[in-house]
Structure 1
Amino acid sequence: MKAEFINPFVSAAYRVLQTEARCEVKRGTVTIEDSPLISDEVTVLIGVVGRAQGLVLYAMSEKTAKNLVSAMTGEIMPVFDSMVESAVAEMGNVITGLASGELEKAGYPVKIAPPSVVVGKGTAISTLSLRRLVIPLETPLGDITVHVALRESNHALS
């Protein structure tokens, strides 16, 4: 896993959370883990292809998801429903989109797939042979863990 793959996701997550949810963000200690990831209550998955390929995952509790969406919309979200699910999927999409721009500047042009959301704690999500950089982000609205499972590829985008 290249170090160039970490900072774009950290800086993009900071920007999106500070701008959209109007909250401060603190990064915890980055670790490396092997597959599989055991899902949190809500996990957004986004595929990445191009000069870097793999998966980026954003894991959080349902409470954190509701708090984030409440902060972003200005409306209290009392239940985890399709609105909250859609909003956290879009948040992951925006973070990954911003990070992909930074990856391109670093010489790794990529495209991202539409987000998928796994709801339910304890699901094993395999990143196959890809190790994951695990980036914990702490906010007053709850914790989000970003998992970056990317590898360099020789496949250029066409």
Structure 2
Amino acid sequence: MKAEFVNPFLVSAGQVLQTETGTEVVQGEVRLEESPLESDEVTVLIGVVGRVQGLVLYGMSEETGRKLVSAMTGEEVTVFDDMCESAVAELGNVITGLASGELEAAGYPCKIAPPSVVMGKGTAISTLSIKRLVIPLETKLGSITVHVALRETY
């Protein structure tokens, strides 16, 4: 996988999380994994099509999701309900949208699909033949794992 496919997600995740939640993001060690991945308690999936295609996934615990949404709204969220699910999905959508703009600027125009959310730990999610770069992010609100499974199309 090309570095220019991953860097936009690293930068965008840091910017969006800092802006929306006021928390600093520390990146862990990036690793390459084969499919399938095991879902986290909350996993946001966003499809990408165009000069690059594949999936971007954001995994976290329900607790991290609640804390992120609490920081975004300024109100304590105690239950991971429909509003919380929607807000976490939109957070993934904003990060991916910003990253797709960076991909386009680098010569890889693409579009993103509306986000989907998988609830429940342990579901196998296949990215088929596309390997995933796994990017762990640590914040004071909890851990988020970004999975970037993209390949160039011609």
TM more than 0.5: yes
Gaps of at least 5 residues in structure 1 are none
Does residue 39 of structure 2 align to residue 34 of structure 1?
no
Identity over aligned pairs, percent: 76
- How do 1:13-32 residues align onto structure 2 when only pairs under 5 Å count? 13-32=13-32
Q: Quote how far apart the aligned CAs of 1:59 are.
A: 0.2
Aligned equivalents of 2:6, 2:50: Cα separation in 1: 17
For residues 57-115 of structure 1, the C-alpha deviation after alignment (integer angstroms, 9 at most, x for no partner) is: 00000000000000000010001100110000000000000000000011100000000
> Amino acid of the residue matched to residue 122 of structure 1?
G
Equivalent position SS for 2:77 = coil
TM-score by length of 1: 0.97
The alignment partner of 2:17 has SS state of helix
- Structure 2 unpaired stretches of 5+: none
Give the Cα–Cα distance (whole angstroms) in 1 for the partners of residues 5 and 126 of structure 2: 19
Paired residue secondary structure (1:133): strand
**Aligned pairs (5 A) from 1:110-149:** 110-149=110-149
Alpha-carbon shift at residue 21 of structure 1 (Å)? 0.5
SS at match of 1:40: coil
- Over aligned residue pairs, what C-alpha RMSD do you find? 0.4
Structure 1 segments, 4+ long, off by >4 Å, are: none
Q: Residue type matched to 2:93 in 1?
A: N
Q: Which amino acid aligns with 2:19?
A: T
